Structure 1
Amino acid sequence: MKFLLLLIGCVIGAAAPASVAVASLAAASLVALSRRVDPALGRLAASAAALVAGVAWASLTAVPPAPYGSPEGVVEVSGTVDERVCEAGDSCRVRLVEVSLGPVAIEERLWVRGHSDLGQALHAGDRCTITASVTGARADSNPGTAPPWAARRWRLSGTVWLGAVPRVLPGGASLRARLRAKLREALTLPGAEVTALYRALLLGERGGLSPELRLAFVDSGTAHLLAISGLHLAVVGLGLYRLFLALLLRWRRLAQAGRPPAVAAALAGTLTLGYVAVIAPSQATLRAAVALAVVFAGAVLARRARPLPTLAVAAGALVLADPRAPGGASFQLSFAAATALVLLARHLRPLLARLDEPGALPAPGWRRPARWALALVAVSLVSTAVTTPLALGWFGQASLVAPLCNLVAVPLMSLLVVPVGFAWWIVALIAPPLAQVLAPLPTVAAGWLLDLVEGWAELAGPSTHAAWPHLAGVAASLALLLLLAGRRFRPAAALAAGVALAIGLAARPPAAELRLTALDVGHGDALLVELPEGPVLVVDTGGHHRSGADARLATRTLVPALTRLGIARIDLLVITHADHDHVGAAAALADRVPIGALWLPPCDASGPSTLAVAARVAAQGGQVRQVHRAPALSWGGARLEILWPPADAAGPRGRCTLSRNDDALVLSLRYAGRHLLLTADVEGAAEAALVAREGARLRADVLKVGHHGSRTSSSEAFLDVVRPEVAITSGRRTRTAMPPHLAVLQRYARRHIPLWLTDRDGATRVVVGADGALRVDSRLGRSYRAGARRGVSPARASLTPLRPP
Structure 2
Amino acid sequence: MRRKLFFCGVSQWASIMLIDTFGLPISLLTMTFLLISAKFSNSISNIMDDSTKKLIVLGAVVGLSAGFFRGFEFDKIQQSVNLKEEADFFTGYVEQSYIGEDCHYLINLNNYNGYNAKVIVKEYDKNKKRHDVKNKHNAHIKTNFLPGDLVRLQGKPELPKDAGNPRCFDYRKYLRAKEIHFTMTASSMKKIGQEQGAVVKLKRKLHVAKLRFINNIDSSEAVRGVIAGILFGSKELLDEDLYDAFRKNSTAHILAVSGLHVGIIYLLYRKIFRKFPNKGISAVFIIILLIYGQMTMWTPSVTRAIILTLLAIAGNFLNRAYDFVTAISATSFIMLIINPLQAQLPSYQMSFLAVLGIGFLLPILEYVMPSWLAVMTSVQLPMSIYGAYMFNYLSFGGFVFNLPTIALTALIVPVGMAQYIICFMGVEFHLLNKIIWGLGFLVSKINLKGDEIINLGRDVISPPLYIVVSSILLIFFFSSECAYIHRKRALKKEVLLAAAAIFILALPFVKADITDFDKAGFVFVDVGQGDCLHVKSPQGKAMLIDGGGSRDYNLGEKTLKPYLLKNRFGSLDLAAITHWDMDHSKGIEELSRCYEIRGFFDGKHELLLKNLEEEEFKITVLWPLDKRVAAVDNDRSNVFMVENKGIRVLVTGDISSAVEDTLVNLYGNQLKAHVLKVSHHGSRYSSSPKFLDTVKPKAAVIGVGKNYYGHPADSVLKLLEERKIEIYRTDLDGAVGICGNEKEWKVVTNRSRRN
Tell me what 1:722 maps to.
695
Tell me what 1:742 maps to.
714
Q: CA deviation at 1:718?
A: 0.7
Contact 1:762–1:780 under 8 Å retained in 2: yes
Tell me what 1:394 maps to.
390
Specify which structure has the bigger relative contact order, considering alpha-carbon pairs within 8 angstroms and separated by 6 or more residues: 2
Residues 240 and 689 of structure 1, relative CA distance in 2, 3 Å threshold: farther
Q: Secondary structure at the match of 2:234?
A: coil
Which segment drifts farther, 391-400 or 717-726?
Answer: 391-400
Contact 1:668–1:675 under 8 Å retained in 2: yes
Tell me what 2:214 maps to.
187
Counterparts of 2:304 and 2:613, CA distance in 1: 48
Q: Which amino acid aligns with 1:751?
A: R
1:140 equivalenced with 2:159 (yes/no): no
Residues 307 and 502 of structure 1, relative CA distance in 2, 3 Å threshold: closer
Contact 1:21–1:57 under 8 Å retained in 2: no
Q: CA deviation at 1:317?
A: 0.7
Tell me what 1:520 maps to.
526
1:4 equivalenced with 2:7 (yes/no): yes
Q: Which amino acid aligns with 2:549?
A: G
Tell me what 1:777 maps to.
748
Tell me what 1:64 maps to.
74
Tell me what 1:797 maps to.
none
Tell me what 2:666 maps to.
693
Residues 8 and 498 of structure 1, relative CA distance in 2, 3 Å threshold: closer
1:207 equivalenced with 2:236 (yes/no): yes
Counterparts of 2:745 and 2:385, CA distance in 1: 34
Counterparts of 1:585 and 1:511, CA distance in 2: 21
Tell me what 1:559 maps to.
561
Q: CA deviation at 1:158?
A: 6.1
Q: CA deviation at 1:502?
A: 12
Residues 25-78 of structure 1, C-alpha deviation per residue, up to 9 Å, x if partnerless?
x9xxxxxxxxxxxxx999977864664354334433444337477958563577
Tell me what 1:542 maps to.
548
What does 1:361-760 correspond to in 2, within 5 Å? Answer: 374-413=370-409, 415-430=410-425, 432-434=427-429, 436-458=430-452, 459-460=454-455, 463-485=458-480, 486-487=483-484, 488=486, 491=496, 492-493=498-499, 496=502, 515-545=521-551, 547=552, 550-551=553-554, 553-554=555-556, 556-600=558-602, 627=604, 633-635=610-612, 637=614, 638-647=617-626, 660-732=633-705, 738-760=710-732
Counterparts of 1:519 and 1:102, CA distance in 2: 39
Contact 1:222–1:405 under 8 Å retained in 2: yes
What does 1:234-273 correspond to in 2, within 5 Å? Answer: 234-240=263-269, 242-243=271-272, 249=276, 260-273=277-290
Contact 2:528–2:706 under 8 Å retained in 1: no
Contact 2:5–2:330 under 8 Å retained in 1: no
Tell me what 2:251 maps to.
222
Q: Secondary structure at the match of 1:417?
A: helix
Counterparts of 1:504 and 1:57, CA distance in 2: 24
Contact 1:421–1:442 under 8 Å retained in 2: yes
Counterparts of 1:578 and 1:74, CA distance in 2: 38
Tell me what 1:614 maps to.
none
Tell me what 2:36 maps to.
none
Residues 201 and 19 of structure 1, relative CA distance in 2, 3 Å threshold: same
Contact 2:362–2:375 under 8 Å retained in 1: no
1:337 equivalenced with 2:354 (yes/no): yes
Residues 753-787 of structure 1, C-alpha deviation per residue, up to 9 Å, x if partnerless?
22222222221112345x764232111359xxxxx
Tell me what 2:118 maps to.
107
Q: Which amino acid aligns with 1:433?
A: E
Q: Secondary structure at the match of 1:712?
A: coil
Contact 1:671–1:772 under 8 Å retained in 2: no
Counterparts of 1:680 and 1:155, CA distance in 2: 38
Q: CA deviation at 1:141?
A: 2.9
Residues 496 and 633 of structure 1, relative CA distance in 2, 3 Å threshold: same
Counterparts of 1:12 and 1:84, CA distance in 2: 35
Counterparts of 1:574 and 1:774, CA distance in 2: 25
Q: CA deviation at 1:272?
A: 0.5
Contact 1:641–1:668 under 8 Å retained in 2: yes
Residues 720-755 of structure 1, C-alpha deviation per residue, up to 9 Å, x if partnerless?
111112221122478x65212223222222222222
Residues 341 and 494 of structure 1, relative CA distance in 2, 3 Å threshold: farther
Counterparts of 1:115 and 1:351, CA distance in 2: 58
Contact 1:95–1:112 under 8 Å retained in 2: yes
Counterparts of 1:313 and 1:389, CA distance in 2: 24
Counterparts of 1:230 and 1:498, CA distance in 2: 32
Contact 2:642–2:650 under 8 Å retained in 1: yes
Residues 508 and 311 of structure 1, relative CA distance in 2, 3 Å threshold: closer
Counterparts of 1:754 and 1:634, CA distance in 2: 33
- TM-score of the superposed pair, with normalisation by structure 1: 0.75
Counterparts of 1:12 and 1:430, CA distance in 2: 47
Q: Secondary structure at the match of 2:596?
A: coil
Residues 578 and 99 of structure 1, relative CA distance in 2, 3 Å threshold: farther
Residues 580-629 of structure 1, C-alpha deviation per residue, up to 9 Å, x if partnerless?
333444454344423333334xxxxxxxxxxxxxxxxxxxxxxxxx6388
Contact 1:541–1:582 under 8 Å retained in 2: yes
Q: Secondary structure at the match of 1:313?
A: helix
Structure number with larger C-alpha Rg: 1
Residues 194-249 of structure 1, C-alpha deviation per residue, up to 9 Å, x if partnerless?
21112112112111112212211222222222221211111123324545765xx3
Q: Secondary structure at the match of 2:572?
A: coil
Q: Which runs of 5+ in 2 are unaligned?
A: 33-48, 131-138, 488-494
Residues 700-721 of structure 1, C-alpha deviation per residue, up to 9 Å, x if partnerless?
1121111222222221111111
Which segment drifts farther, 666-675 or 626-635?
Answer: 626-635
Counterparts of 2:445 and 2:663, CA distance in 1: 55
Residues 134-163 of structure 1, C-alpha deviation per residue, up to 9 Å, x if partnerless?
766614332233569937479977667xxx
- TM-score of the superposed pair, with normalisation by structure 2: 0.79
What does 1:785-800 correspond to in 2, within 5 Å? Answer: none
Q: CA deviation at 1:267?
A: 1.9
Contact 2:613–2:619 under 8 Å retained in 1: no
Q: Which amino acid aligns with 2:388?
A: L
Residues 643 and 134 of structure 1, relative CA distance in 2, 3 Å threshold: farther
Q: CA deviation at 1:19?
A: 8.6
Counterparts of 2:517 and 2:709, CA distance in 1: 43
When the two structures are aligned, how many residues end up with a matched partner? 688
Q: Which runs of 5+ in 1 are unaligned?
A: 27-39, 87-92, 250-259, 353-373, 601-625, 783-805
Q: CA deviation at 1:315?
A: 1.1
Contact 1:144–1:557 under 8 Å retained in 2: no
Which segment drifts farther, 390-399 or 568-577?
Answer: 568-577
What does 1:110-121 correspond to in 2, within 5 Å? Answer: 110-112=121-123
Counterparts of 1:666 and 1:575, CA distance in 2: 10
Counterparts of 2:612 and 2:428, CA distance in 1: 68
